[in-house]
Structure formats: C-alpha cells, structure tokens
C-alpha cells in the first residue's frame, strides 16, 4: 500500500533561504529517497517548509523520524497522511521553484496557517504542472 504524508515546519536559521542549505537537503534526500523508493517534493517560503512524501508506510515513518530530529527546522506538523492509489511525485526529491505562485493559486498568502485541504490542493497543482 502506498501512502502520501504532507507536513509543514518552521525553518531554523537560513534553512530554505540559502542556496547551500537547499542544496544540502536535496543532496541527502535524493540519495536516500531513491534508495527507499520514496518520491517527494519540497517547498520553502518565507521561513516555512512544506514537504510531501510518498512511499510505503515503513519508509515514510523511518524518514519522518529523521526529519523530526533535524534541527534545521522545528515544529513539524503533519497536515495529511493517507493511502493513495498512485503517486503524484515522480522524482526522489523535487524542489518547487515558485512557491509564491503555488500559494496564490490556492488563495493562501502564507504557510503559517496552511490547512490539510490547502496542502492537498498544492499537491494536485504540482501533479498537473
Ligand atoms: C525540510 C527538510 C526536508 C528533508 N527531506 C528529506 C528527505 O526527503 N529525505 C531524506 O533522506 N532526508 C531529508 N531531510 C534530511 C533529514 O532530516 C536527515 O538529515 C537525513 O535524512 C539524514 O540522512 P543521512 O542519514 O544519510 O545522513 C530533510 C531535511 C529538512 C530540513
């Protein structure tokens, strides 16, 4: 059974804001997610992180344990976690290149109060893109 989990978190320091911090996260994620058969997309916007992860229950839970312990962000809040029929993400780790446009498209201004429904709509947009 395949699952998709979406979480939001608060960036610490320059996480998500500097090219180096993004490159470091993507570098580890691409290697590990490929190994674990996980597909994923992440977006960084004004101090917030939003990530969707797809794969088996065990692989998602194992990754989430590492993610929750990662000091580069805090207050990890799971917005949505459910079985899916097929994947919306097709790469080990994709970076959303225009988060502001994504948020505008769903009528949200920032990620501080993002809801499960809004997070699901972002995934739908990403799938259509
Ligand atoms: C916002 C954010 C997203 C992350 N996404 C992933 C991911 O998709 N896959 C992954 O393996 N690590 C991800 N990480 C890094 C993990 O928290 C952890 O540092 C890493 O998995 C450790 O890998 P290693 O055991 O190979 O050193 C992410 C970290 C942050 C801050």
What are the structure tokens assigned to 7, written together? 């979480």
Q: Which atom from ligand 1 is nearest to the alpha carbon of 92?
A: 8
Give the residues across from 43 on adjacent strands.
Answer: 50
Q: Which of 4, 12, 25 to mutate to test the pocket of ligand 1 (most atoms within 8 A of CB)?
A: 25
Please give the DSSP secondary-structure letter assigned to residue 8: E
**Please, is 7 exposed, middle or buried when counting C-beta atoms within 10 Å of its C-beta (0-12, 13-18, 19+)?**
buried
Provide residues with CB under 6 Å of ligand 1.
15, 25, 28-29, 32-33, 40, 42, 49, 51, 63, 66-67, 70, 72-73, 93
What are the structure tokens assigned to 61, written together? 């839970």
Q: What number of other Cβ atoms are within 10 A of residue 71's Cβ?
A: 8
Q: What is the DSSP track for 30-89?
A: HHHHHHTT-EEEEEEETTEEEEEEEE-HHHHHHHHHHHHH-TTEEEEEEEEEEEESS-S-
Residue 46: which domain range? 2-128
pTM metric for this prediction: 0.96
CATH number at 91 reads: 3.30.70.100
The answer to whether 6 and 120 have CB atoms below 8 angstroms apart is: yes
User: 84-123: per-residue pLDDT in tens?
Assistant: 999 999 999 999 989 999 999 999 888 888 999 999 999 9
- pLDDT class of 8 with cuts at 50, 70, 90: very high
User: 36-84: per-residue pLDDT in tens?
Assistant: 999 999 999 999 999 999 999 999 999 999 999 999 999 999 999 999 9
Number of structural domains the chain divides into: 1
Nearest residue to 50 (alpha-carbon basis) of 91, 90, 94: 94
């Amino acid at each position: 059974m395949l699952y998709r989990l979406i979480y939001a978190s608060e960036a610490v320091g320059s996480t998500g804001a500097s090219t180096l911090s993004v490159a470091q996260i993507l570098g580890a994620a691409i290697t590990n997610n490929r190994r674990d058969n996980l597909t994923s997309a992440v977006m960084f916007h004004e101090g917030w992180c939003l990530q969707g992860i797809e794969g088996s229950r065990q692989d998602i839970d194992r990754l989430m344990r590492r993610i929750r312990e990662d000091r580069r962000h805090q207050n990890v809040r799971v917005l949505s976690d459910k079985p899916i029929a097929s994947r919306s993400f097709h790469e080990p780790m994709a970076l959303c290149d225009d988060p502001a446009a994504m948020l505008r498209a769903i009528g949200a201004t920032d990620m501080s109060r993002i809801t499960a429904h809004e997070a699901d709509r972002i995934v739908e947009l990403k799938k259509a893109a």
